Structure 1
Amino acid sequence: MEFQSSPRSSSRHLKDSWQHTLLLSFQSLGVVFGRLSIAPLFAFGTIGAGDIDSEERIHQLFSFVFWTLTIIPLLKYALIVLRADNDGEGGTFALYSLLCRHAKVGLLPNDKSTNEVMQYDEETPSKTKEDSRATRYIEKHKSSHYVILFLALIGSCMTICDGVLTPALSVLTATSGLGRSFKDISQHFPSSERARAEKVFTRYVPVSIACAVLICLFTLQHYGSHKIGFIFAPIVFIWLLFITGLGLYNIFYYDLQIIYAISPVYISKFMKSVDIRSWRLLGRSEAMFADLGHFSKRSIKVTFLCLIYPALVLCYAGQAAFISKNLGASMDIVHLSESVPNRLLRHIFRVLSLFVSAVGSQATITATFSIINQCLALGCFPRVKVIHTSDKIRGQVYIPDVNWLLMLLTVAITIGFHNISLIGNATGLAIICAMLVSTCLMSLVIALYWEKRLLLSACFLVFFGSIELMYLSACLFNFHKGAWYLVVLLVIFMTIMIAWHYGTLKKYEFDVENKVSSDWLTDLGPGLGVTRVQGIGFIYTDIVTGIPAFFSHFITNLPAFHQVLIFVSFKSSPVPHISPCQRYLIGRVGHKEYKIYRCIVRYGYCDRTRNTDDFEEHIIRSIGEFISREGNDLEALTSPEGKMIVVGSQTTDGNALIPLDGDMSSIGPESLEKNENWRSSLLDPSGSASAPIRRKKVRFTLPPNSPLRLPVREELQELVDARESGTAYFLGQSHLSVRFGANFMKRFLIMIYDVLDKNCREPPVALNIPHAALVEVGMVYVI
């Protein structure tokens, strides 16, 4: 019976949808748009007062600012780039993932057997349209794949560098405004101490306050984007109202004619007579796309179009009007605080700017978390712990290790440079490079994913690329004035990411080349001295066919394995999320009597994976469903490697295993007594018994009245009994070694990978595994 919603229910759903959008729009103020909101603090401040010599010049400068704000954040990002989201996720790697999915340009570890096994879903429609000439050309030339990956890594590294530089710049800018307030206090000191006091108040005090604010800011990150958005959004909202009112006041009080400066005639005059020192970037909007996973597209567009954009235009217009009527004044007219008309309001403004500068840094920090989470899942970043801070809103993550590293680098930059101009030069170069990379990738998305004409893609690239190249050339003139530090950070991050990707790729290729056929394992029997012990053995491997080399190495030296073996492989897909009902692929290894299964766990680059608190339960239930569904088929799925079928519905309709209430079971040496003869030395080499670990263990039972055939019920019962007997987890511990005679670059990358592998977190599948149940098998991989 088909359900049709009534008009009342439809309107209610629409109302709830808009309520959700408005809620996310409010939160995005404190997370996404904080950086754009604080741009007026240093947009005109980067230009010396001596560079503005006439009222006509300031009108041209405002026109330049207006059109930059309109072309980059509004036209490019809000109206075009946000449409190229990857199932709700944004950022450089989201664009790269779109290209990997639709143009086959990915270089992620994979092999032909993996592609064959992953073709599991019979309902997936076949590709009916022929690939375009551009798609075929890019897929054919391997060098283009490396270029696209290199662009994606460059853009990601620039976003990470921006997460280091922007918090230091924004907070130090605000505290410098407080320093000007403290400067008045130094006038009360004796003349002999006045210069020293002025230096302390204008240099050391702002830096100290900035460091304290930055430490507090990074300490709040563990609350997640949801809570931080509610905490920071009111501050940004008050700030936007303040600068909007300030802009309107200055426009009407000083120069109402400034409104006419939005004419393109003024920017054309500005570009004809532009000075290199005047080229600064306003459009700090890359985080608006990178933070898309934290908020919906509609919420970001609504917030930007209805609040952020008009507030910034009015603020810049008011500041330009103030400067145009105060040329030649002794005060520092280019700073926004000087345009505040009242001294009391000026002090309130400086305190408010300090708070909003901390909020403004939030966009770059959350964007850094999102980008690193994507790089991590796609094998381009060392293993770090990722915490999902919201169960309701996907994509909101917090990475503790990265958070504290960013804090240390940001505080070090603030103390080391303590100069807004130097940090601003490096920040501007980082933002420009990230925007230029997104323009290049977006042009490829237009041609390859949207399948538009190459002329349209070329127009997008030429139009936005030429503007951003102009900004880039201006930033490069300041390379020796702080921008060089960005190159240092870029080299460090790029070396880490390239080395990790290279080592992961070579390690996977070694596993594929040295895997053992499934027949080798199934042919082993008691006649060869191999015994099978009670319990379940989980073998984690990167390959999806055959037996991994480390497990064959283990069996060769210790000839015993469990009565039920489950080979588990995690495979990332270039999509943000995989539905739970499509996550697990189950198949057999060999004949039914061997009780050997293979499970492929698919996940997107924003999914939570490998949480053993309930992961084992999901695997057992999926295998039980596989056995039940297989028993209902007339044809047994017993091909040489086993046909993989999708299992993920986790049904409890009585056809498979039924989970009972979880109880607290001890997982320690005593729970593994039946396996003590063959692995007691592996569990505790010192011979001392470790304390049992208390954890929740879900038990299963067979459905009492289900019409299952006897062989199916027997196999399910054996699976349940094996689960009750105990579980062991096998992990391969690789040690990469370079062949004799390899070139320097290969040795260097493998050395960096080896250092990272030893110092980063353990493989995620082992994070929550009890020590007594974990078996690590070491092998040397000769690359």
Structure 2
Amino acid sequence: MSDATEKTGHHPKLSTTTLVIAALGVVFGDIGTSPIYTLKECFSPHSPHHVLPTHDNLLGVISLVLWALIVLVCIKYLVFVLRADNKGEGGVLSLMALASHGMDEVLKRRAVIVLLGLFGAALLFGDGIITPAISVLSAVEGLKDGGLLGSAPTDAGAAALWDEKMELLIMGITMVILIALFAVQFLGTAKMGRFFGPITGLWFVSLAALGVSHLISGPEILAAFNPLHGWHFLTTGGHKSFVILGSVFLAVTGGEALYADMGHFGAGPIRRAWFSLVLPALALNYLGQGALLMKNPEAAHSPFFQMAPHWATLPMVLLATAATVIASQALITGTYSLTLSAVQLGYLPRLSIRHTSEHARGQIYIPLVNWLLMLACLALVLAFRNSTNLAAAYGVAVTMTMLITTVLFYFAARHLWKWPLLKTVALCFIFGVIEIAFLSANLVKFFDGGWFPLVVGVLIFTLMTTWATGRRLVRASMEKSALSQETLCESLKRRPPVMVPGTAIFMSSTSGRTPIALLHSLKHYRAIHERVIFMTLITEDEPWVTPGRRVQVEALSDGFWRVTGRYGFMQKPDVPRLLRQCANHGLEVEAEKATFFLGREIIVPSHKPGMARWREHLFAFASKLAQQPATYFQIPVGRVIELGQQVEI
């Protein structure tokens, strides 16, 4: 990150048009590719939960799709949730920090908010695995659905063999595309956005053009804008009409990405892109598919690709594939941001995190997360084989995350913004009822694959809570034998040790406490450097801390200093830069000439009360995966001495 960016803490000066185009390439890919499979899952005879494409059913389902987009995306996210701007950053963890702000005195309520936020974040990891798999798979299936791979033989046995070969071919192409996508992530979000933005713009223009071409011959589908058609479909269609909500919800998956990626582009460009291009294109395409099905119900097996004239089928498949790759990018980017927040807030081990832009904040790449996501996506393609099977796994995690966002938004609106109770309850009740209805319908698909993202979410939630609890137990164990820094200074005045030339910097996780590394050093060497700095780095419950608040310097005694560095949960600590800032406070230190002492805890599971034994072993394993502190804090190579200590928890 450049010094200019560090000073401002905001986006570099880019034009709104540039940000809108870049946002198209990152934020809207997921929701923008939903037309490929949403109505297919609602009406295709191959879908386990479908309805017949009759006149009334078409008006009802498309009305539900349009109003889901209007209420959940336009009103909830674009109008209200994007106001929950945590110093420019969005996402469920940022909203969790806002919702719990100022609630330390209500510890139980704050704990519930934190747990909800963590579970919502964990569910988004599950969503991040499914989105690339279903998006790319559904686009590549256009080769078969559009007739580009030929027709199945008339003989039943030969047709089954042909279907099997086509499925394997489509799976193979999908896996190659996914491997290529994850392999280029190191280039960074900014470069990906600039490259993908114009392609996504062309995609939305194509969606609109296809929709208009069919609307001209079937304008009666425009009646779907009347919400009464959706209500009539739900209230008269029985159980099947309710279950179809699980497929209708596919139209709004990706809505959470609009909020999660707010920090990359800002709320203004995201709103402009949505209302000027994305929403009109989506609405026109869904209406166009409805008009096509009214005239030709046999196209229900793949209404999206059946919209294109034969000559345009291959270009549309290629464009759809490119668009679904971009859809995957939206979730991959969001997953990186989510991981960085969780690491900085102390809910995941320190991972190798690379900043991919010198000018734009939040542009990061996390290798371990990238490759784990890729392996999980490939495993999903192999396990579920086609987009219809994957659609059964899609939706449960997203609806839960949306519902959690509504709950957290309620607390933020009430306790942070002081909204009136009636206004807050009324608004969140409307969103909550709709999301509970969608969640209930999606839970019907639980045993068909809906269990997968929930299992992923529970596993990651368990890891995050275990890591946070384990770190708290380690700190408590070490503080029992720790002295205050003031007490140490007084003790050394009375009985001075041997003085060694130079500066020693002791990293301490708790401000005011003497690091164990220093006590071990005194015990073994019976000497101390002529200048000692106790350094503590604190992560605040906000995404960005300005340079003016970054560093606090205190002189404790002759030769002893205390330095406290403050960072937001979207900022990566940089110790050399922090030391340079100390010069403004009367403490001049050259990181390249100082010696850094780091304590390294070796976790030993025990029968002590605190955590279950299996969680202690999980915590010990996660500790081994954590990046070396010297690397994470960007301490100069060759200037570090690590002192290990076994810690029982």
TM-score, normalisation: structure 1: 0.76
| Deviations 1:71-130, CA, capped at 9 Å, x for gaps | 0110100111001110110000111111333333xxxxxxxxxxxxxxxxxxxxxxxxxx
1:145 aligns with 2:110: yes
* Number of residue pairs aligned between Structure 1 and Structure 2: 627
1:177 aligns with 2:166: no
CA distance in 1, matches of 2:386, 2:531: 64
Letter in 1 for 2:627: R
Letter in 2 for 1:608: K
1:740 aligns with 2:625: no
Contact 2:43–2:301 (8 Å) recurs in 1:
no
CA distance in 1, matches of 2:13, 2:93: 29
Letter in 2 for 1:446: A
Which shows bigger deviation, 274-283 or 20-29? 274-283
CA distance in 2, matches of 1:741, 1:478: 42
- 2:646 is aligned to 780
From 217, 227, 236, the counterpart of 1:273: 236
Letter in 2 for 1:456: K
- 1:571 is aligned to 538
1:199, CA displacement in angstroms? 2.0
Letter in 1 for 2:585: F
1:770, CA displacement in angstroms? 5.4
1:750 aligns with 2:612: no
Letter in 2 for 1:729: F
CA distance in 1, matches of 2:158, 2:612: 60
Contact 1:186–1:194 (8 Å) recurs in 2:
no
| Deviations 1:334-353, CA, capped at 9 Å, x for gaps | 5310122x211122211211
| Deviations 1:374-398, CA, capped at 9 Å, x for gaps | 1111001121122222232222222
Contact 2:56–2:233 (8 Å) recurs in 1:
no
- 1:325 is aligned to 295
CA distance in 2, matches of 1:519, 1:390: 42
| SS at structure 2 position matched to 1:160 | helix
- 2:98 is aligned to 98
- Alpha-carbon spacing, 1:566–1:529, altered in 2? closer, same or farther (3 Å): closer
CA distance in 2, matches of 1:291, 1:508: 34
1:627 aligns with 2:586: yes
Contact 1:333–1:339 (8 Å) recurs in 2:
no
1:168 aligns with 2:34: no
Which shows bigger deviation, 443-452 or 488-497? 488-497
- 2:7 is aligned to none
- 1:389 is aligned to 356
| SS at structure 2 position matched to 1:374 | helix
Contact 1:32–1:363 (8 Å) recurs in 2:
yes
- 1:504 is aligned to 471
- Alpha-carbon spacing, 1:604–1:18, altered in 2? closer, same or farther (3 Å): closer
Letter in 2 for 1:335: P
- 1:259 is aligned to 222
- Alpha-carbon spacing, 1:625–1:350, altered in 2? closer, same or farther (3 Å): closer
1:550, CA displacement in angstroms? 3.5
| SS at structure 2 position matched to 1:36 | helix
CA distance in 1, matches of 2:260, 2:417: 20
CA distance in 1, matches of 2:30, 2:286: 15
| Deviations 1:749-768, CA, capped at 9 Å, x for gaps | 22211100012311255665
- 1:491 is aligned to 458
Contact 2:543–2:570 (8 Å) recurs in 1:
yes
- 2:192 is aligned to 228
1:701-716 equivalent positions in 2, closer than 5 A:
none
User: Percent identity at matched positions?
Assistant: 28
| Deviations 1:728-755, CA, capped at 9 Å, x for gaps | 1111111233553537x43222221110
CA distance in 2, matches of 1:289, 1:485: 24
Letter in 1 for 2:423: L
| SS at structure 1 position matched to 2:133 | helix
1:519, CA displacement in angstroms? 4.6
| SS at structure 2 position matched to 1:497 | helix
Contact 1:169–1:424 (8 Å) recurs in 2:
yes
From 265, 278, 301, the counterpart of 1:295: 265
Contact 1:41–1:336 (8 Å) recurs in 2:
yes
- 1:349 is aligned to 316
1:608 aligns with 2:572: yes
| SS at structure 1 position matched to 2:450 | helix
| Deviations 1:547-584, CA, capped at 9 Å, x for gaps | 12332133122211111111111001111111112201
| SS at structure 2 position matched to 1:605 | coil
| Deviations 1:638-679, CA, capped at 9 Å, x for gaps | xxxxxxxxxxxxxxxxxxx6xxxxxxxxxxxxxxxxxxxxxx
- 2:23 is aligned to 28
- Alpha-carbon spacing, 1:431–1:224, altered in 2? closer, same or farther (3 Å): same
Letter in 2 for 1:312: L
Contact 1:159–1:431 (8 Å) recurs in 2:
yes
- 2:5 is aligned to none
- Alpha-carbon spacing, 1:733–1:23, altered in 2? closer, same or farther (3 Å): same
1:183, CA displacement in angstroms? 6.9
| SS at structure 1 position matched to 2:41 | coil
CA distance in 1, matches of 2:637, 2:293: 68
From 362, 366, 376, the counterpart of 2:333: 366
1:466 aligns with 2:433: yes
From 167, 173, 177, the counterpart of 1:213: 177
Letter in 2 for 1:601: G
Which shows bigger deviation, 167-176 or 191-200? 191-200
CA distance in 2, matches of 1:336, 1:484: 28
| SS at structure 2 position matched to 1:734 | strand
Contact 2:122–2:458 (8 Å) recurs in 1:
no
| SS at structure 1 position matched to 2:87 | coil
- 1:540 is aligned to 507
Letter in 1 for 2:259: F
The structure, 1 or 2, with the larger RCO (C-alpha pairs under 8 Å, 6+ apart) is 2
Letter in 2 for 1:63: S
- Alpha-carbon spacing, 1:766–1:250, altered in 2? closer, same or farther (3 Å): closer
1:430 aligns with 2:397: yes
- 1:112 is aligned to none
- Alpha-carbon spacing, 1:455–1:332, altered in 2? closer, same or farther (3 Å): closer
Letter in 2 for 1:627: G
1:671-682 equivalent positions in 2, closer than 5 A:
none
- 1:136 is aligned to none
Contact 2:78–2:271 (8 Å) recurs in 1:
yes
| SS at structure 2 position matched to 1:437 | helix
- 2:595 is aligned to 728
CA distance in 2, matches of 1:738, 1:400: 29
CA distance in 2, matches of 1:188, 1:45: 23
Contact 2:506–2:517 (8 Å) recurs in 1:
no
| SS at structure 1 position matched to 2:352 | coil
| SS at structure 1 position matched to 2:612 | helix
- 1:761 is aligned to 627
1:401, CA displacement in angstroms? 1.3
1:414 aligns with 2:381: yes
1:273, CA displacement in angstroms? 2.4
| SS at structure 2 position matched to 1:368 | helix
- Alpha-carbon spacing, 1:426–1:190, altered in 2? closer, same or farther (3 Å): closer
Contact 1:516–1:549 (8 Å) recurs in 2:
no
Contact 1:732–1:779 (8 Å) recurs in 2:
yes
1:338 aligns with 2:306: yes
- Alpha-carbon spacing, 1:622–1:34, altered in 2? closer, same or farther (3 Å): closer
- Alpha-carbon spacing, 1:157–1:764, altered in 2? closer, same or farther (3 Å): farther
- For the aligned residues, what is the CA RMSD? 2.4
- Alpha-carbon spacing, 1:624–1:446, altered in 2? closer, same or farther (3 Å): closer
CA distance in 1, matches of 2:200, 2:581: 48
Q: 5+ unaligned residues in a row in structure 1: which ranges?
A: 1-15, 105-138, 629-656, 658-718
| SS at structure 2 position matched to 1:46 | helix
Contact 1:293–1:396 (8 Å) recurs in 2:
no
Larger CA Rg, structure 1 vs 2: 1
- 1:199 is aligned to 164
1:62 aligns with 2:88: no
CA distance in 1, matches of 2:608, 2:345: 30
